[in-house]
Structure 1
Amino acid sequence: MTTPFDELPPAEADAIVARFVAARPQALADLRDRLVTDGQDPDALLDGSVDSLVPLWAWGKRHLRRRDDGLADTEAEPFAGQSVPEWYRHDTHRERLLSLDSVRLLDGVLTYVGEVVRRAVPGVAWRRGHHEVRAYAHRNRPVIGRGDEEVGAGPMVFGAARSHLLEPGSSPDGQLRGFVDRWVERLRAADAGSDERLHGESGPPPVAVLDDVVVSRGVEADEWVVEFGDDARALVGQAVVERLADTLPGNAGVTAATFEDREVLVVSGSVDPGELERFVVAELFRDADPA
């Protein structure tokens, strides 16, 4: 079985991320070829602008498909024996929802998202995620970084895709542009205080923390997934995050809550996602000391 990113030795993770970076030109070329085959104008949809992410995501969503081979619960790794991006095997323990073709498509989309961010912010590059926080959500994964700031494009793009398949309309055409707008703001500010913000600045939590608590649809009909990014974890600590498994049931329509892979909280019940996100953020900072 493939070793998850957060369990890899740094040297091995460095090698995987180096191969990820080396494969980005081909991933982008494959995305361009798909657009041409589908009768789209790749020069218009891949012009490098933040605005281009809106029509690109509208197009991409039309080509997402559910997995239908019935093998997700029996295979040792996702799509065993088939060609998928190397990084994906280390990042995904089991793929119950996305088809193999959708995974390959999204590899190209997240590559282009990275290119848009790189054009918008000088000095940004793909690199191995690292942070002094012990339970860092992006540890060893390919991230887009500058200075002390890092963003994980992969989980956000794949999360938006899964949400769309589970509930069409839940991922608007402008969702990727919204992600990138926030990332660009954070990365541009990376050299002006990000270390303080991540490692103990006093005062209220920054707005970026709210972007790091992401609520999306789960696999089952009554299931929701809460993902915690590095800002939230760094500011409140892993113990406060894990406490949510005990405090959430009985609130925001949640009947059960369990952590999966230490980084993702899976909840079930008659949940309103907006209410769930507000409750989670409020609970995270209820008695946390940011100083």
Structure 2
Amino acid sequence: MLYEWMTGSQAGDALDEFLAERAPALQRLRSALSGLGRDADALLDGSPESVASVWEPITARCADLGTDPRSLEEDPTRPGWPSWARHGKLVDPHPPAESLALVDGFVSYLAEVITSAVPDALWIVGEHRISDYPTLNYPVLASDSHQIFLPALPLYSVYQSAHGRDPMGGPEMLAHVRRTITALRGEGPESSVAEEPLVTVVAEVDCFDVGLREDIAEQHPHLVERLVAELTDRDGVVSVYRYGPAALVVDVPEWDETRLRLWLTLWLQRHLPR
């Protein structure tokens, strides 16, 4: 069941399941790094700076693994996936089980690094006054000023790798972690706009009406142009029409509202200047 479809009770159970997976996933990451010829004890030193060095062999391995040739429905490994992958919105062609396990271990390591830097951050079920907020019902690390679903950007990057597109390198992943730590501390631009989603998506009869947060179009107009270009290049996208500074019409018959909102949100999280 997708997080978006869960009741409050089901989302609470999913959070418990996610947390129970953290320690075993980290241990599997240690073994995987050793199998890749890396010194796991030296790499996993718990510092924010170590994130870049840990991520590099993971993203390289995921690029080598590519995509699973089977569809999501036909993949027999799916019951053994991390809970966030089973309950999250994955699409075909999807990364294989080994890639998802590597991301899962990396998520556990990120959790250790970030909670060490922000001890007051708590694991909660994602909540928001907006009913279709991207992390609603997801297991998130949160403070009063920010909440984050840790697998999101690593998984996005693995999809990039698997499809031969530009993945996040070590320095970019480190920058993401530093921004997250800053936001969870209540500092920086991400915490100041925490109440407003980056994007809203409304399904119309034959298309989707997309609204970007107003400050994005005002402060980064060229980034919106780049977003339109990259979205237009995605498989299944027929057209993207920008009819206002912060307004798009997207014709993508093979996608649903959740998939489009997640793609746009993750793309913006990656590329917005901080």
Shift of 1:10: 0.7
CA distance in 1, matches of 2:228, 2:61: 20
* RMSD of Structure 2 on Structure 1 (CA): 4.1
Flag the 1:125–1:222 CA change in 2: closer, same or farther, 3 A.
same
Query: C-alpha distance in 1, partners of 2:120/2:38?
Result: 31
Which residues in structure 2 correspond to 1:1-291 (within 5 Å)? 3-64=1-62, 65-72=65-72, 74-75=73-74, 79=76, 82-167=79-164, 169-189=166-186, 198=195, 205=215, 222-223=233-234, 247-248=241-242, 257-258=251-252, 260-265=255-260
Whether contact under 8 Å (2:125, 2:136) holds in the other structure is yes
5+ residue gaps, structure 2: 198-213
8 Å contact kept, 1:67–1:98: yes
Measure the CA separation in 2 of the matches of 1:68 and 1:24: 24
Change in Cα spacing, 1:224 to 1:127, as seen in structure 2 (3 Å) is farther
> C-alpha displacement at 1:225, in angstroms?
10
| Alpha-carbon distance, 1:261 to partner | 3.9
For the structure 1 residues 40 and 221, does the alpha-carbon distance in structure 2 shift closer, same or farther, using more than 3 Å as the test? farther
How many angstroms does 1:158 deviate by? 0.3
One-letter amino acid of the structure 2 residue matched with residue 59 of structure 1 = P
| Distance (Å, rounded) in 2 between the aligned partners of 1:249 and 1:18 | 43
Superposition TM-score, scaled by structure 2 size: 0.71
Note the residue ranges of structure 1 that are not aligned, 5 or more in a row: 227-244, 267-272, 282-291
Higher relative contact order (CA 8 A, sep 6+): 2
Q: Distance in 2 between matches of 1:61 and 1:216?
A: 26
Distance 1:217 1:86 in 2: 33
Cα distance between partner residues in 2 of 1:94 and 1:168: 16
**8 Å CA contact retained: 2:81, 2:101:** yes
Q: 3-state DSSP class of the match of 1:198?
A: coil
CA distance in 1, matches of 2:36, 2:121: 31
133 and 68 in structure 1: CA distance in 2 versus 1, 3 angstrom threshold: closer
Q: Which moved more, 1:101-110 or 1:78-87?
A: 78-87
User: Once the two structures are aligned, what percentage of the paired residues are identical?
Assistant: 23
Q: In 2, distance between residues paired with 1:216 and 1:63?
A: 30
**Superposed CA offset, 1:158-211 (max 9, x none):** 001111232355422212111111111111017xx95885279xxx849xx98x
* Distance in 1 between residues matched to 2:157 and 2:194, nearest whole Å: 27
Q: Which consecutive segments of 4 or more residues in structure 1 shift more than 4 A?
A: 78-82, 193-197, 213-218
Aligned match of 1:236:
none
Between structures 1 and 2, the one with greater helix share = 2
The normalised TM-score by structure 1 is 0.67
SS in structure 1 of the partner of residue 95 of structure 2: coil
CA distance in 1, matches of 2:229, 2:118: 31
- Contact 1:35-1:42 at 8 Å conserved across structures: yes
* Structure 2 contact 25–108 (Cα < 8 Å) conserved: yes
